[in-house]
Structure formats: structure tokens, C-alpha cells
Amino acid sequence: MIKGYQAEIERIYENIREKEDNAFRQRRKEISTKLPIVIDLEAEIGKLCVEVAVSSFKDMANRELHISKLKNRITDLRVKKYEVLGQHGYSGDYIEKHYKCNKCRDTGFIGNNKCTCYKSKMVQLYYNSSELKEMLRNDNFENFNFELFPTKKLNDEPESPRKNIENIFSKMWNYVEEFETTEENVFFYGNSGTGKTFLSHCLAKELLDRGYLVVYRTADDLIQNLRSVKLDNNQAIENLLINCDLLIIDDLGTEQITNFSKTELFNLLNKKLLKGKKMLVSSNYTLEVLSKTYSERITSRLFGNFTLNKFFGEDIRVKKNFNKMR
């Protein structure tokens, strides 16, 4: 979880509860003025509920029959209350508390466990306060343009760039659909400008919109984060990188490659694999260059624990720029 957002999330829940408390009081005030009989019925229901509770502990003859009669009376009064409200255009629960989340009653917790709505609010806070929101404004599955990829087959590839990207696109959409149950990690590699980053953004946006915590880092930013974790004991960053639902590492190989960066990258990959936390890594390097650049410990995990997807074709960024100039 993102510890730094805990206080802000608690304030969100407080505001939700306060707003509903005010609305609840206003609804009751309205009904007490227009339909006082409903308030009287509620008061009688409350008294009978207390009597049921007290009778449960009393040593009395025909206790079960007495309690049964009380419960039937309560049911009749509730039906009458709903009928009166309905006859005057109100819903049956008009003067009851209305919760945005009925599971936790807008507290964020079910017992000691965080409710699913808590995570959704946390993801939205992270999304809104990160650079992702602007990055993903246009980068999504709906805007993916297959027309930018040539249909002509390249000599050294088994299929055309268009067919290849269609296959990868389809696999990534299935990855999103099966994200809750899959254990798959994804690796994109190939020459620059062939759609790796754009498709990574598509995945990030779709999963964020579905309530998953996606953390996006360029390789250089990631190493800076890992330096902060190692040297400054930044546990909040470590917690975010390790425990997010999906960590995207873009442009692997563009970071300054040192013994420190290789060691900490390996440690991160290894921790996430051991914990079953999913990753998507992309690189402009070929597999051969990656093998020469990184240690065998890193490449064995990238090549052995990730599904490999090769991108190829002409540089789409250059092509789009030329099209604008025409």
C-alpha cells in the first residue's frame, strides 16, 4: 500500500461520512415535518426491538411465542412505514443512512482488513498525483493505430510488422482481462519507435481504470528510486515498488549501468518474482546485447520468467512526424 496516502484517504472517508450525516439529518427533518407518522412508526419499531432483546434473556413462560409475536409486529410496522413513504413518493430507505460502500459503511475497513473501496481510492490518489495522468490522456487501447505498422513482411522476420503488433495487442488485451488470476510477467524488446512504450501506457491506463495499482518508471528513474531505498532507507518507495499490482520498467538499458544499478535491479526483480508481483519490462536492446550488458542473474530472470514479445518495423515516431510535415 502507499503509506504516504493513508492520512489523505482517511480524510476522504471522513468527508464522505460527514456529508452523509448532514444529508441524513436533513432527510429525517423533512419527513418529521411532512410525515410525522413515519417517525412515530420508527420509534415504535425501536421500542419493540429493545423488547425482543430483553425478552431473549428473560426467564418467562412461552418466551419463544412472545418473541415471535414481537417480531411479526415489527415486520408489520416496517411494511406500514414503507407503504406510507411510497404513497408520498419516497423510497423505503429514504430516512436510513445511505453508504457509498455498503460493505464497510464508508469506514474503509471490514474488521481489521482494508475494504476493496479503500484500495480504489488509494489508486485514484496515486494516479491523480503522478505523472501518469497526463501521459495516459491519449495513450490507450482505443487510440492504438494499426495503420502505422507496415503490412509488408520483412526479410528476416516471420510476419509483417502489422501482423506482429496485432498479435501482441491481442495478447496484452487478454493479459488485462486475466490480470487478477495470471502470474505472467511481460518483456517487450525491439528497436526504438515500434510501439513498446505506447502499448505499455495502454496497459497501465486500462489496469488503473480497473482499480489496480500500476507504477510506471523509466529505467533511469527506477535506479534513482532504488538508490533512495538503499542509501536513505526510503521504505515508502520500496513498499510502492515491491507491492504494486504491476511495475512497468520502461527503456531498460538507458540507465547508467554500474555495479550498484545491476545489483539493485537484480534484487528488485528477485524480490518481486519471489512474492509473485507482476512486472512489465521494455528495452530497445536485442536479447544478445542485453546478455552482454547485464549479469547472467538478471538476464536469466528476464528471459526465463517473462513472456518475450519482439517488436520490429520502422520508427513510428519518425513516420508520424513526417506525416505532420506533409
Domain holding 60, by residue range, is 3-106
Q: 182 and 228: one domain?
A: yes
Instruction: Give the domain CATH number at 270.
Output: 3.40.50.300
Q: 86 and 143: one domain?
A: no
Q: 161 and 15: one domain?
A: no
Q: 101 and 135: one domain?
A: no
Residue 121 within any structural domain of the chain = no
Q: 63 and 151: one domain?
A: no
245-282: pLDDT as tens digits? 999 999 999 999 999 999 999 999 999 999 999 999 99
Residue 123's pLDDT is: 78
Residue 314's pLDDT is: 84
Residue 263's pLDDT is: 96
Residue 59 within any structural domain of the chain = yes
Rounded CA-CA distance 262/299 in Å is 11
Q: 145 and 294: one domain?
A: yes
Residue 210's pLDDT is: 87
Q: 174 and 317: one domain?
A: yes
Residue 100's pLDDT is: 93
Residue 296 within any structural domain of the chain = yes
Residue 122 within any structural domain of the chain = no
Residue 1's pLDDT is: 43
Rounded CA-CA distance 249/68 in Å is 64
Q: Which three cell numbers stand for residue 201?
A: 501506457
Cβ partners under 8 Å of residue 163, min gap 6 = 151
Q: 154 and 235: one domain?
A: yes
Q: 206 and 271: one domain?
A: yes
With a cut of 50, list the residues of the chain below it in pLDDT. 1-2
**pTM value > 0.75:** no
Residue 234's pLDDT is: 86
Per DSSP, 115 falls in state: P
CB-based burial of residue 246 (10 Å sphere; 0-12 exposed, 13-18 middle, 19+ buried)? Answer: buried
Residue 177 within any structural domain of the chain = yes
Rounded CA-CA distance 16/107 in Å is 9
Residue 85 near residue 94 (C-beta atoms within 8 A): yes
How many domains is the chain built from?
A: 2
Residue 294 near residue 187 (C-beta atoms within 8 A): no
Residue 140's pLDDT is: 83
Q: 84 and 220: one domain?
A: no
Q: 199 and 302: one domain?
A: yes
